[in-house]
Structure 1
Amino acid sequence: MTDTRSAPISPVDPVDLTARLIRCPSVTPEEGGALQLLADLLGEAGFDCVRVDRNGTPNLFARWGRKGANRTFGFNGHTDVVPVGDRAAWTRDPFGGEISEGFLWGRGATDMKSGVAAFVAAAVDFVCGTPPDGALILTITGDEEGPSKDGTVALLDWMKSRGEAMSVCLVGEPTCPDRMGEMMKIGRRGSMTVTFTAQGVQGHSAYPHRAKNPLHALVRLFDRLASAPLDEGTEHFDASTLAITTIDTGNTASNVIPARTVGRVNIRFNDAHSSRSLMDRLRAEADRVTADTGVTFAMEVDVSGESFLTPPGEFVRLVAGAVKAKTGGEPVLSTSGGTSDARFVKDHCPVVEFGLVGRTMHAVDERVPVEDIRQLKAIYSRILHDYFA
């Protein structure tokens, strides 16, 4: 961007902007008008806005300031939401953006249209008030709740191909369990799902010695996997976990030993492991059971993300300091929870996450206290002020 096109504008109300975003029915993978609404607002404020859609997935890149600036602060978030479920169970229109009883109601109110509205409002007010010595980049996707193959990943690929870069990035996902300012994320556990297909030999249940029962072998393998702790935790992470999520055979006969069965485990792992080291460990256990039973195992592995950590340092202290300044409490530096798009951003630049209380996300009657949205904007504004000070 060569210059700023905007004159100073009135402060952006993050509550009103959240309500307008909720009224955009952007259930993954539909854009629903949400990104266009943000592009119009950001464009009026002097941001260069580019739609970076890939394979039908809607994404928005917005930059204020010069490409390649020494200091470029980034925000990341998403406007897509999960389906509403049983619409009759809602007491408010899930796409109404209604304010009632001190709450803003609707799908995406918590996860995470309020977060996007708060950082967009903070960014617009900041650049139109006291323009920073540096640049500001916003990456907003419509594919966080979906496959996440062509969302933030596509934005980062596009940025790399065009020499766009963030020095640091804050993801605005909900991070607080019960009260504002309680927790921020400085890393996330890795996540992988492993599907085992056990192949044996079919036979009559009265003559088990003539068969190779894949169920016996799979149960033995799963018992070994579930009984042995993966680790005892690390400095910044709790212990890794392995959960058996399904065993499917489809055998309707009570007197037939099946030839094949399928089972699945999900592993959430800390920085003591990588997906590769865990795959090797699971393969070794499966081979031991094969040696004992003669039943073979095929493994299909889906890695959602590797574990990562942004070590406590200048950036983490800056965000924590802004949270404390606006809430009065020191946030816990956590690596708990599931995955987020931070798992992709961490390969681009240092990343942390801070956002709302996530108690009602994905729930019927999703809602957020109105004052929490305003407080979140104030925190993001303080972060920008301190970063560019």
Structure 2
Amino acid sequence: MTHISALDYAQRLIACESVTPATGGVFDVLEDMLAPLGFTVERFISGENDDNPAHGAPVENLFAIRESGGRHFAFAGHVDVVPSGDGWASNPFVPEIKGDFLHGRGAVDMKGSIAAFVAALHDIPKDAGAISMIITGDEEGPAIHGTRALITHMQARGSIPDACLVGEPTSVNRLGDMMKIGRRGSVNMWISVAGTQGHVAYPHLADNPIPKLIAILTEIEAITLDEGTDWFQASNIEITDLNVGNKATNVIPAKAEARLSIRFNDLHNGEALVARVRERVEAHGGMLTAMISGEAFLTPPGAFSDAISEAVEAVVGISPEPSTTGGTSDARFLTKICPVVEFGLCNATMHKLDEAVAIADLSALTEIYRRVALKMLAA
């Protein structure tokens, strides 16, 4: 079998315009890569079209597995990308090599790491153990019909891995300097306080909701959730929006609204935080709705993170820092079924104009992924 490089695979994937929610062409390309390597590829659409954006749009998901005896190691990722935006030096969906870098939307987040893992499969014997790929088209969007639907599909077919590597771009200054062994949880909350509209000259005939909202936010702002833990930074509550929408200078408004975002460590859970804030909101006559995006998780340092550290040190000569910093990823769902660690390319250009990956990093990551897979399958 001809050995195809991660660079070639990455170019094929980048050439597919797969802005969230992704379906179709990019999955065709990935299936064409995996089928010759002995993988059974299963694709399905999850979600339905309706008029409610909170329900999310339909997305395509792919589960591919090469069955074998022994342990089962999985790689998870996403082929959807954020919109390119204006101002690129070249077409973001026409991969272009400039010097030592490959440019294109998704080069690092995260078509490059998917390409590296597929390239690594060429040098992983079929009898080494079961290997699967868990790929969604909905990581950059609401993440409603993506990895969660894939987990349901895997549970139904009885294909739960012993460990899963998520290929998010975790490296900061150079390939291999950081891996993610956990992430903080995330919950967004919307506060609404109703009042009675009236003329500012006759306040006794109106009910101004703004002072009530200010009192609510003052109490929330005074909350200290924790001081952090051995592996997590302190949890934080941030007020992310205020809205009254009152354009008149002589009118007391009928409603005032605010939005909060809480990022929390493993000392908390989403439901308890929602209940804590709701108590304060309702004490002042307000209403609260919330959406828990994910719970905090931690894969304690051990055999999995050691396998990654050993592979990184052997290939690029440094040892990655285990970290829980940054935003959320689909690892928050996968951690419910198996141990999960995230490791991938440098994240300096992700979501930016002229996103680019060092070609040498694609090659090095391929070898790192090969070593990690073999180590975990032999554990």
Deviates more, 1:221-230 or 1:161-170: 221-230
State yes or no: 1:73 paired with 2:73: yes
Distance 2:122 2:318 in 1: 27
Contact 1:52 1:155 in 2 (8 A): no
TM normalised by structure 1 equals 0.91
- Tell whether the 8 Å contact from 2:270 to 2:292 is kept in structure 1 after alignment: yes
Post-superposition CA distance 1:5-28 (Å, at most 9, x none): xxxx12220011101110011111
Report the counterpart of residue 345 of structure 2 in structure 1: 356
| Aligned partner of 1:61 among 60, 63, 70 | 63
Within 1, Cα distance between the matches of 2:310 and 2:221?
A: 41
Equivalent positions of 1:180-329 (< 5 A) are: 180-288=175-283, 290=284, 296-329=285-318
Letter in 1 for 2:332: R
Per the alignment, residue 160 of structure 1 pairs with 155
**Preserved contact between residue 132 and residue 388 of structure 1 (Cα < 8 Å):** no
Aligned-residue offset at 1:359: 0.8
157-166 or 215-224, larger mean C-alpha shift: 215-224
Q: Which amino acid aligns with 2:170?
A: T
| CA distance in 2 between partners of 1:279 and 1:82 (Å) | 29
Give unpaired runs (5+ residues) of structure 1: 1-8, 291-295
Q: After superposition, where does 1:114-193 map in structure 2 within 5 Å?
A: 114-126=112-124, 130-193=125-188
Aligned ranges 1:66-105 → 2 under 5 Å: 66=68, 69-86=69-86, 89-105=87-103
Q: Tell me the CA shift for residue 31 of structure 1.
A: 2.7
Aligned residues: 368
Aligned equivalents of 1:11, 1:348: Cα separation in 2:
33
CA deviation profile, 1:103-135 (whole Å, cap 9, x unmatched): 100111111000110111112331xxx334320
Quick one: which amino acid aligns to residue 280 of structure 1? Answer: A
Q: Distance in 2 between matches of 1:381 and 1:46?
A: 17
Q: Is the 8 A contact 2:180 2:322 kept in 1?
A: yes
Tell me how far 1:210 sits from its aligned partner. Answer: 4.5
SS of the aligned residue for 2:115 comes to helix
Deviations 1:162-204 (A, max 9, x none): 1111110000000112211111001111011100011123333
- Distance across 2 between alignment mates of 1:83 and 1:249: 30
Q: Are the equivalent residues in 2 in contact too, given 1:30–1:142 (CA < 8 A)?
A: yes
SS at match of 2:122: helix
What is residue 17 of structure 1 aligned with on the other side?
Answer: 9
Structure 2: 5+ residue runs without aligned partners? 48-57
Q: Is the 8 A contact 1:27 1:82 kept in 2?
A: yes
For the Cα contact (< 8 Å) 1:197–1:299, is it kept in 2? Answer: yes
Partner amino acid, structure 2, of 1:366: E
Partner of 2:53 in structure 1? none
User: Which of 19, 39, 52 is the matching residue for 1:47?
Assistant: 39
CA contact (8 A) 2:183 2:328 kept: yes
Match of residue 6 from structure 1: none
Contact preservation (8 Å) 1:25, 1:32 = no
How many percent of aligned residue pairs carry the same amino acid?
47
Report the aligned-residue RMSD: 1.5
> Aligned with 1:148: secondary structure?
coil
Task: Point out the more displaced range, 278-287 or 200-209.
Answer: 200-209
Looking at structure 2, the residues matched to 275 and 110 of structure 1 have their Cα atoms a distance apart, in angstroms, of: 30
